[in-house]
Structure 1
């Protein structure tokens, strides 16, 4: 990983040039056009950030920069050719008597960024490319402009929903009976509740409507569900003890996954005051919260990727597809600051008492494990996933 915005020395710069271009490093010669440079800057800002070295050829030869106003020109490109404007960190270093301009582009906080010709770029490996529809949707999700859970799912209809469960929900939480409404009224109510959506002149299900109230959800949204694997040992390469795919509505997945975890735990008993007491390896409250957090906060626009739970001898890992939204950091999560990537799912799961209060989950997990004397749970971003690791007490 390249550190952004630090003072680079000559040796470090030479090592970077020697290693060549990668996901975080781009070489450009001085003659690069403003439009092309803006595209590279936008691509880095829409991804994980990166460094552009101006004065280096694609094959790593040191060419240098002659223009004395190069810094001003770069800043103008970031301000005028990138939308929203981007503030890079600039420095230059002399190598072999030649000036190299170093432009550090931070990971953008106001994604998505685009160029003046309204094109959105992302960094993939050593190159930039125009963002795909799915990538663009994730960029808009990251800044809260759209929420995938209330987006329409095409080629669906009200027949893909379990109306009995919907009626029970409204009877319990909204104090009126859908059985007393005619079909047109029911449809209008479900549209107002974001369970159904109007799209291209048709009434279809929302993603959240399917996830909470759908029938055979996994046949329509293949990314839904949890993949569970239990290994004997502490590595994925160790012997596989149990493996399951858990699908259905979110509330059903939560309950079934908790049962699977409990069945795979060893429960040694201790004698206390002449009575035998079962002692669990992991607090059920912690496991339940970790499951719910993964189900409610994962990025459902990432197709084909289920939540993955790995159980080892010394820990359980919860892998949730999707990076943290723009404004959320791991340190903020630890103190209860949260962001609802899927506000529809949060609202309905909260109404059904699966969520106590947004933002309380992670602090509760940390405190509970600390009180038990266990190692502090690990929160980290790994590629396109957020991973929560809970260690055995």
Structure 2
């Protein structure tokens, strides 16, 4: 880790007044705190993180230091190797900061095939932790089981269901399924009779139905698994039931049957409860639902197909909750395999927890259509994001917490009149369309990260990073969490006071005078100017480039990227002349 990055992380901790999801600071003058094992396990089981030893959180993250950094490094490395299973190999180093020594460890996330990381002394069930917000939480036995299952290919969907036979199948679904198999996969299925074809497709395991076969083609799977269904609830307020008016919900639906029927019933319930909004299209107006149906269908299918079907989760249904400001779709079981929150939406990214169920549904058509339930191509979430972009809506927010996965759809137009008026009031020239979309997302939400920005604008990571960096340099955004774990907030001087009635922003977009005043009659490095002005490093860098181009300052070295380069005012020109 670079010293500048460490300084930035500590500055963020002090501003926040607490630890960050990916950063933990602990006081450790003479020995390692006992809770370090929990933090190491939590970082390794989540997304990795940074451990800083020598900061006192209780006193505003004061740099108290460690007395013997070499011994502390050795003790920490030994703990990672000897007390954690599997052994961890963090990058550990000592940094001089504010006159004391800090020991900093960068803990990588473990590969899915090696999780969970746990403390050997207390065992896997009691010694496995996960990072939640700024703390460490012990994993439940169910979450530990999920991580162990993710080490290989789960086979829960292939298990035979005792007491079932072909008589429990929906004959119309079976006929459509077999017809499609024989048309599209003729080499494997055209010459087989119905029973042999169902066995080859693993709808039948011997004479009994597989769980996948029952869920995809069964007449009424809930006869055997009452909770393997979908519930839809439409709440009257943003927080749920209306306690004052006594209205618990506006609509409440239990969608049962095989997955094709559940998807159909869920979409009917959603259409019935969605409002329609008018948008101007060319010379006329077009009516559209609050949420595009394509996005909702893909989200519902994803929840049903990729949920966990192991024994401990068979009492939990897929839940769809509609509120005035959002729609939430939640399923048991987090992301599986190589799919992570940060690569959701990347075309072709796919890892099937229920491979057999997915394969069956690939050849199972939706009711009244020849279109299959799913395509098994990793295209579901990209299609969902594209539908939201086309409708000018904010992209859904995804949250994975091991035991559940949630997709939340905000209910607002991304570039509504208020957002457009607010962006115009910033008086920033040269913003790209995607940067305007990112600002509009922050107008409606509290934070933004690289993944959400990419999803909203269909950009690759490099361009998204450049554009977000430019917004930071313009003083519009403030990164939180350090470069590697950055989220972005609106700068205080640009944030609207209230989204219901956003007032025009009054801000000083031009920072040339700040830089020139900080330079005075002397010389200063870029780091000196950051310290004197309180501006972000990217902002200082941007305005130094402007001042150099206008001839108002000069550099002492040709290599402007060097931290040793110093800047001074040019005597022949003044700010007014520039």
Does the pair score TM above 0.5? yes
1:122 deviates by 1.9
**Where does residue 90 of structure 2 map in the other structure?**
88
Distance 2:49 2:293 in 1: 42
Q: Do the aligned partners of 1:167 and 1:177 also contact (CA within 8 Å) in 2?
A: no
- SS in structure 2 opposite 1:363? helix
Distance 1:278 1:15 in 2: 49
Question: Per-residue CA shift, 1:46-76, capped at 9, x if unaligned?
Answer: 245566566799x99x895546243244335
**Where does residue 209 of structure 1 map in the other structure?**
213
**Where does residue 136 of structure 1 map in the other structure?**
144
**Where does residue 150 of structure 1 map in the other structure?**
157
Question: Per-residue CA shift, 1:352-381, capped at 9, x if unaligned?
Answer: 111135222222222233233x22322321
Q: Do the aligned partners of 2:169 and 2:214 also contact (CA within 8 Å) in 1?
A: no
Distance 1:91 1:282 in 2: 49
1:246 deviates by 1.6
CA gap of 1:194–1:72, structure 2 versus 1, over 3 A, is: farther
- SS in structure 1 opposite 2:298? helix
1:228 deviates by 0.9
Give aligned pairs, total. 369
Question: Per-residue CA shift, 1:293-347, capped at 9, x if unaligned?
Answer: 2211223346243222222345433223333335323453223222223222221
| Corresponding position: 1:122 with 2:122 | no
Where structure 1 has 5 or more consecutive residues not aligned to the other structure, the ranges are none
Distance 1:38 1:277 in 2: 58
User: TM (normalized to structure 2)?
Assistant: 0.51
- SS in structure 1 opposite 2:257? coil
Distance 1:231 1:128 in 2: 30
**Where does residue 360 of structure 1 map in the other structure?**
379
Identify the match of residue 292 of structure 1 among 294, 301, 311.
301
1:216 deviates by 4.5
Identify the match of residue 168 of structure 1 among 156, 164, 175.
175
**Where does residue 407 of structure 2 map in the other structure?**
387
| Corresponding position: 1:251 with 2:260 | yes
Question: Per-residue CA shift, 1:60-99, capped at 9, x if unaligned?
Answer: 9x89554624324433554566555533243556899986
Q: Do the aligned partners of 2:335 and 2:400 also contact (CA within 8 Å) in 1?
A: no
- SS in structure 1 opposite 2:299? helix
CA gap of 1:64–1:10, structure 2 versus 1, over 3 A, is: farther
Q: Highest CA radius of gyration, 1 or 2?
A: 2
| Corresponding position: 1:262 with 2:251 | no
1:161 deviates by 7.1
- SS in structure 2 opposite 1:305? coil
| Root-mean-square deviation (Å) | 4.8
Where structure 2 has 5 or more consecutive residues not aligned to the other structure, the ranges are 182-188, 365-371, 414-578
Q: Do the aligned partners of 2:203 and 2:213 also contact (CA within 8 Å) in 1?
A: yes
**Where does residue 376 of structure 1 map in the other structure?**
394
1:255 deviates by 1.0
Q: Do the aligned partners of 2:263 and 2:297 also contact (CA within 8 Å) in 1?
A: yes
1:162 deviates by 1.9
Question: Per-residue CA shift, 1:241-276, capped at 9, x if unaligned?
Answer: 111222222111111111111222345799x9xx99
Identify the match of residue 112 of structure 1 among 105, 115, 138.
115
State which drifts further: 382-391 or 109-118: 109-118
State which drifts further: 122-131 or 21-30: 21-30
Distance 1:90 1:100 in 2: 11
**Which aligned pairs between 1:215-254 and structure 2 lie closer than 5 A?**
216-218=220-222, 220-221=224-225, 223-238=227-242, 239=247, 240-254=249-263
State which drifts further: 254-263 or 114-123: 114-123
CA gap of 1:39–1:376, structure 2 versus 1, over 3 A, is: closer
- SS in structure 2 opposite 1:7? helix
Q: Do the aligned partners of 2:53 and 2:103 also contact (CA within 8 Å) in 1?
A: yes
